């Protein structure tokens, strides 16, 4: 039996590798999508997973809802190892942990009415019968800000924001305790994003839901989260309370992500940490700290030694050899380090510009 301090869900050293075909049919390569990540989510809490596309955050979310099997590590729900559950208990777990997709249209059967789409999971899990299901559908439509008349319409008759509301109502139909929200607003207009985020917040207050919120939009994350985990190339590089992470990001990658995010207040200043190059391929990750080819603070040690998460006083964990030193002596990032290919292109541009006598604005 879980006590009040037991996290609702715990990811314990989760990893996921995919086998990928090489150039030749007999060649097999290993893509390391998620590496040894650990976190927990308390009842009523929102933990956000942020990072660039391809950093493994969606794979982590899919493992939690059972759509992808971890290669190693454990998932605990209320302290119980999911792998050791009976099929009946696993059925219960699937009811308790639901997923909201980025593109709800892709997950809604276009031949079913909205009423049937919302009724289906409630009937399947025995949470309503044929007589009571209409009232339940009406209640769920009201919860997500839609009207009863919408029940007879089809998904294609709705806007993107309304379809996301239908997706949320469908997830709520089974009375979950945790919802994994995989980029639920990134395909929506900014004004609609705010409506959906406010809806998720009010549902959390009313129903005591927990969220794992997967996003690359930091303004949304700031609005919704209690804690934030930053992922880079399959690893969590920093995790901690939202206030600490946004006020004083400790990992150079977190600093770069925040520096790249738009600022709402005109004239507001941020530390400049500029990333060079693209994220390396997870098929061939760099040695040592995976961030070292792009890190403006990298030293020789970073190339050979993998940093582990170490804890700070404000409840955060950071995976960087130099984070305490950098926090004690905050410095401007040195000039931008370009990848060899980018440096080569810039040299070509400069030479061409010098030959033509034109000035170009590349530094």
Contact positions toward ligand SF4, by CB under 6 A?
Answer: 251-252, 289, 291-292, 295, 297-298, 302, 307, 320-322
Shortest CB 261 distance to ligand SF4, Å: 19
User: Is 66 or 312 the residue whose CB approaches ligand SF4 more closely?
Assistant: 312
Strand-pairing partners, residue 14, are 37
Shortest CB 232 distance to ligand SF4, Å: 9
* Burial (CB count within 10 angstroms: exposed 0-12, middle 13-18, buried 19+), residue 355: exposed
Shortest CB 132 distance to ligand SF4, Å: 55
* Burial (CB count within 10 angstroms: exposed 0-12, middle 13-18, buried 19+), residue 327: middle
Helix axes 133-143, 160-172, angle to 10 degrees: 130
User: Is 231 or 295 the residue whose CB approaches ligand SF4 more closely?
Assistant: 295
Contact yes or no for 203/172 (Cβ under 8 A): yes
User: Is 168 or 326 the residue whose CB approaches ligand SF4 more closely?
Assistant: 326
State the DSSP H helix or E strand holding residue 221, giving kind and residue range, or none if neither.
Answer: helix 218-224
User: Is 184 or 288 the residue whose CB approaches ligand SF4 more closely?
Assistant: 288
**Residue position matching structure tokens 């900014």:** 190
- The separation between the first and the last C-alpha atoms of the chain, rounded to the nearest angstrom, is 61
Shortest CB 135 distance to ligand SF4, Å: 54
Contact yes or no for 174/95 (Cβ under 8 A): yes
Shortest CB 235 distance to ligand SF4, Å: 10
User: Is 244 or 256 the residue whose CB approaches ligand SF4 more closely?
Assistant: 256
Shortest CB 295 distance to ligand SF4, Å: 3
**Residue position matching structure tokens 């596309």:** 53
Q: Strands across the sheet with 210-215, in order?
A: 97-100, 178-182, 210-215, 46-50, 227-232, 235-241, 317-318, 310-311
Shortest CB 313 distance to ligand SF4, Å: 19
User: Is 39 or 297 the residue whose CB approaches ligand SF4 more closely?
Assistant: 297
φ, ψ of residue 258 to 5 degrees: the values are -70, -35
User: Is 210 or 254 the residue whose CB approaches ligand SF4 more closely?
Assistant: 254
């Amino acid at each position: 039996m879980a006590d009040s301090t037991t996290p609702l869900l715990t990811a314990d050293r989760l990893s996921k590798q995919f086998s990928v075909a090489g150039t030749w049919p007999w060649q097999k390569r290993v893509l390391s999508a998620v590496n040894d990540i650990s976190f927990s989510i308390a009842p009523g809490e929102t933990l956000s997973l942020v990072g660039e596309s391809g950093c493994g955050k969606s794979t982590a979310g899919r493992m939690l809802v059972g759509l992808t099997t971890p290669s190693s590590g454990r998932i605990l729900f209320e302290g119980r190892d999911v792998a050791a559950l009976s099929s009946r208990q696993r059925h219960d777990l699937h009811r308790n942990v639901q997923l909201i997709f980025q593109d709800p249209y892709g997950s809604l059967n276009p031949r079913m009415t909205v009423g049937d789409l919302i009724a289906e999971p409630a009937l399947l899990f025995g949470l309503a019968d044929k007589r009571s299901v209409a009232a339940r559908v009406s209640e769920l439509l009201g919860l997500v800000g839609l009207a009863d008349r919408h029940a007879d319409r089809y998904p294609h008759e709705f806007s993107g924001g309304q379809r996301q509301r239908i997706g949320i109502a469908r997830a709520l139909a089974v009375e979950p305790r945790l919802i994994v929200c995989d980029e639920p607003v990134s395909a929506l207009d900014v004004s609609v994003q705010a409506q959906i985020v406010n809806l998720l917040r009010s549902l959390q207050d009313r129903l005591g839901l927990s969220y794992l919120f997967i996003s690359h939009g930091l303004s949304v994350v700031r609005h919704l989260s209690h804690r934030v985990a930053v992922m880079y190339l399959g690893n969590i590089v920093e995790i901690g309370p939202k206030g600490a992470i946004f006020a004083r990001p400790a990992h150079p990658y977190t600093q770069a992500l925040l520096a790249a995010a738009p600022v709402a207040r005109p004239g507001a200043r941020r530390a400049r940490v500029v990333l060079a190059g693209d994220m390396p391929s997870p098929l061939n990750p760099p040695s040592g700290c995976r961030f070292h080819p792009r890190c403006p603070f990298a030293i020789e040690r970073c190339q050979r030694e993998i940093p582990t998460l170490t804890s700070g006083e404000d409840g955060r964990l950071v995976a960087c050899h130099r984070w305490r030193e950098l926090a004690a002596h905050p410095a401007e990032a040195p000039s931008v380090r370009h990848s060899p290919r980018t440096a080569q292109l810039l040299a070509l541009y400069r030479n061409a510009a010098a030959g033509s006598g034109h000035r170009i604005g590349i530094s």
